[in-house]
Structure formats: C-alpha cells, structure tokens
C-alpha cells in the first residue's frame, strides 16, 4: 500500500559528506559553532553586499561538502538548493558559479529536508550519482526581505526568532556503507491555522510539524521510541513546547532529551535571541553538522528530521493573510538501524 506523500528509498541513498559555512555571530554565539566547517569573521564574508555574502556561504558549503566527499564540482550531477530571498537569487548566483544542473526549491526553512528528499529521489531513480542538497539564510538579507532593514532598529518581542547566517549542504550518493542512509521521506502538507503574526512563527509552524510527524509515524508504522532522536527545524522554544504538547495530547511518548529542535538549541539559552534561531540555514546547519557527525560516531542510529517552514511573503502579510506552514521529514539510519 502506498501511504500518501511518503517516499521509500529501497536503494538507501547515502549522505556521503556534509558541510556548513556560517557567519561571525554563529562563530561566537552558536553552540554548534565548533562543529561548522567554515566560519567567516565578517557578515559580508568578503563580499560587498549581504546578498552576495549569502551566495558566498552557499558556494563555501557546497565546495566543502564536495571536497569531503572526495569530489570536484564537475563530479556532481545536481544541485538542489533554496533560500528565502525574492526569487532565491542567492541560490541562483551560487548555482551559476558552480555550473551544475540546478533546481531551486522553495520550502522556506524546510528546504534543508525537501532538497534532501528530492536528491534521494534522483539518486534512487539512477539519475544522480552525486547530488548536493541543502539550504541557506543570511540574517541581514532575510530581515530586509521579510521584516525591516537592520537600519530600522525594529523592536522584537519574546516570541520572535533570530534568522541565522549559515548554509548547510549534504552530498548525496548511491549507497555507501558506513554513511547515514536516507530511508524514507514524508512530504509535508501546507497547513494553515489562521495565525497571522510573523513574529511568532514557532506557533504557526508547530501544527505543520505535528501533522508531518503523525503522518510519518502512521505511514511507516513506527513510534517515537523507534528513533534515537526526532529533530525539528526551527520551531524555537515557543513552537517546540506547543509541538511537544500536541504530541502528548495525542498519546505519543515524548522524551525531552530525544525531541530536539535546531532553532531552540542553536544559540543556547541566550535570551537576546528571543525564542531561538530560524531561517533556511538553521536546520541545515544543525542537521549537516551535529546530526550527521553524531550518526557517523554511532551515537544516533536512526533519526527523524522534520524541518519546518513558514510559507508567507511580505505581500501576503501586508494584505493581512494568514501564514500557511509546512514541514518535510526524512528518516535517516545507519546500516542495520531501523526496519527495511
């Protein structure tokens, strides 16, 4: 039986390598900073605009992921990438420099996982031997895009989140023993509970995360206890507690230490980041550093990554529309972990 929106990958494509490039604030303030592969000392990353810096991060992370996989850019078959700027120009410019067949994917902050799912499909079909999948965000350019330019000095409340400056990319290959395998993916639905506050994205995205979680568990006949970790993308502290509450109310066993959220953990407990981190680079940076490394080290054998995305635009917000949200999930395991 085919469960709606659930993809199975019997050939078990592998994540052969992963890399993260990030900005100066992430170097100083993120608890994951030491795990990142490249840290820039300036938020402009040596470029003259924030948007060029955004592209630079994507190129850096892609280049490093290829290098770690022992490959050259010419060896990659596909680039699957997205960001949050209008028409995704940072990804487009980076793709132009990388000279790879490229599909820009917009799932907002859930692009880290939607790109991984598409890469796995391309690999499964035999069309790709090596595909780069990932996403990125740059604080200054995303603030300009969605909220207010930095110069404006806009005040944020406690439910707001801080867009990270980072890019995370994975090199997806056909099965290679010893590396995390992509077993299944659940494509999220767009869920709209009518919330309209763009400074409380966590609350808007939590129902989408829960929708995807329950569909994945039901469709794959698994329970939370089957996973070493269930890691959401950028719900932040507000959205995460709502997400866990929804799960508890549905009778799922929620173990705090295994139910992680990249956005909640990203900047530690620093209250100046409000409810935590967000942005397309947030989940990508944590999945493709901390989670990938923990899998290689054997600490995690089977994980469920649920990246969440708020699918609004500045125009839809100005027209008073609500914020539809989505969440995409992939299930990774080390060989022998989980059921086939």
Partner 1 sequence: MIMSFIVAFVVGGLICVVGQLLFDVANLTPGHTLSLLVVVGAVLDGFGLYEPLIDFAGAGATVPITSFGNSLVHGALQEAERHGLIGVITGIFEVTSSGISAAILFGFIASLVFRSKGRP
Piece in contact with partner 1 (CB under 8 A), picked from 62-70, 129-137, 144-152, 299-307: 144-152
**Closest separation in Å from C-beta 77 to partner 1:** 36
Contact 164, 39 (CB under 8 A): no
Interface with partner 1, residue 155, by CB under 8 A: yes
Contact 326, 306 (CB under 8 A): no
Piece in contact with partner 1 (CB under 8 A), picked from 114-122, 152-160, 168-176, 305-313: 152-160
Piece in contact with partner 1 (CB under 8 A), picked from 75-83, 148-156, 252-260, 287-295: 148-156
Interface with partner 1, residue 139, by CB under 8 A: yes
Interface with partner 1, residue 218, by CB under 8 A: no
Distances, alpha carbon 302 to alpha carbons 54, 118, 203, 257, in Å? 32, 20, 27, 15
**Closest separation in Å from C-beta 27 to partner 1:** 12
Pairing of strands 259-261, 229-232: parallel
**Alpha-carbon distance 57 to 167, whole Å?**
6
Nearest CA-CA partner of 188 in 332, 310, 288: 310
What is the Cα Rg of the chain in Å? 18
Interface with partner 1, residue 151, by CB under 8 A: yes
Q: Give the nearer residue to partner 1 in terms of CB position, either 44 or 296.
A: 44
Q: Give the nearer residue to partner 1 in terms of CB position, either 46 or 336.
A: 46
Contacts of 104 (CB under 8 A, 6+ apart): 81, 82, 88, 91, 92, 95
Interface with partner 1, residue 321, by CB under 8 A: no
**Closest separation in Å from C-beta 272 to partner 1:** 8
**Closest separation in Å from C-beta 50 to partner 1:** 9
Q: Give the nearer residue to partner 1 in terms of CB position, either 50 or 112.
A: 50
What character string, x for contact with partner 1 (CB under 8 A) and - otherwise, covers 163-202? Answer: ----------------------------------x-----
**Alpha-carbon distance 169 to 62, whole Å?**
6
Pairing of strands 181-186, 277-278: unpaired
**Closest separation in Å from C-beta 335 to partner 1:** 43
Nearest CA-CA partner of 21 in 333, 281, 222: 281
What character string, x for contact with partner 1 (CB under 8 A) and - otherwise, covers 35-64? Answer: --------x---------------------
Interface with partner 1, residue 161, by CB under 8 A: no
Query: Residues 46, 70, 149, 336: which binds partner 1 (CB under 8 A)?
Result: 149
Interface with partner 1, residue 31, by CB under 8 A: no
**Alpha-carbon distance 290 to 270, whole Å?**
19
Q: H helices within the chain, ranges in order?
A: 24-29, 50-68, 89-98, 111-124, 139-146, 201-219, 236-249, 262-266, 280-286, 292-296, 314-318
Q: Give the nearer residue to partner 1 in terms of CB position, either 153 or 298.
A: 153
Contact 330, 185 (CB under 8 A): yes
Query: Residues 152, 225, 250, 299: which binds partner 1 (CB under 8 A)?
Result: 152
Q: By CB under 8 A, name the binding residues for partner 1.
A: 25, 43, 139-140, 148-152, 154-155, 157, 197
């Amino acid at each position: 039986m085919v469960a709606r929106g659930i993809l199975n990958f019997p050939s078990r494509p592998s994540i052969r390598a992963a890399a993260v490039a990030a900005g100066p604030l992430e170097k100083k303030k993120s608890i994951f900073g030491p795990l990142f592969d490249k840290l820039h000392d300036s938020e402009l990353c040596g470029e003259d605009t924030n948007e060029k810096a955004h592209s630079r991060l994507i190129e850096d992370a892609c280049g490093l992921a290829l290098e770690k996989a022992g490959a050259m850019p010419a060896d990659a078959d596909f680039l699957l990438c997205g960001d949050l700027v209008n028409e995704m120009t940072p990804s487009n410019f980076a793709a132009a420099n990388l000279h790879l067949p490229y599909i820009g994917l917009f799932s907002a902050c859930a692009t880290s996982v939607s790109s991984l799912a598409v890469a796995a499909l391309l690999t499964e079909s035999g069309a790709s031997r090596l595909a780069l999948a990932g996403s990125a965000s740059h604080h200054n350019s995303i603030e300009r895009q969605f909220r207010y330019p930095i110069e404006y000095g806009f005040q944020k409340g406690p439910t707001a989140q801080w867009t990270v400056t980072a890019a995370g990319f994975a090199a997806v290959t056909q099965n290679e023993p010893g590396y995390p395998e992509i077993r299944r993916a659940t494509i999220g639905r767009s869920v709209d509970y009518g919330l309209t506050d763009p400074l409380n994205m966590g609350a808007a995205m939590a129902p989408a995360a829960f929708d995807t979680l329950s569909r994945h568990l039901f469709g794959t006949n698994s329970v939370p206890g089957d996973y070493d970790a269930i890691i959401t993308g950028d719900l932040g502290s507000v959205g995460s507690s709502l997400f866990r509450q929804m799960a508890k109310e549905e009778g799922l066993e929620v173990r705090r230490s295994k139910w992680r959220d990249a956005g909640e953990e990203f900047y530690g407990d620093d209250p100046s980041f409000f409810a935590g981190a967000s942005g397309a680079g947030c989940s990508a940076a944590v999945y493709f550093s901390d989670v990938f490394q923990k899998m290689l080290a054997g600490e995690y054998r089977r994980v469920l990554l649920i990246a969440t995305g708020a699918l609004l635009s500045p125009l839809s917000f100005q027209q008073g529309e609500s914020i539809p949200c989505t969440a995409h999930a992939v299930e990774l395991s080390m060989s022998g972990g989980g059921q086939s």
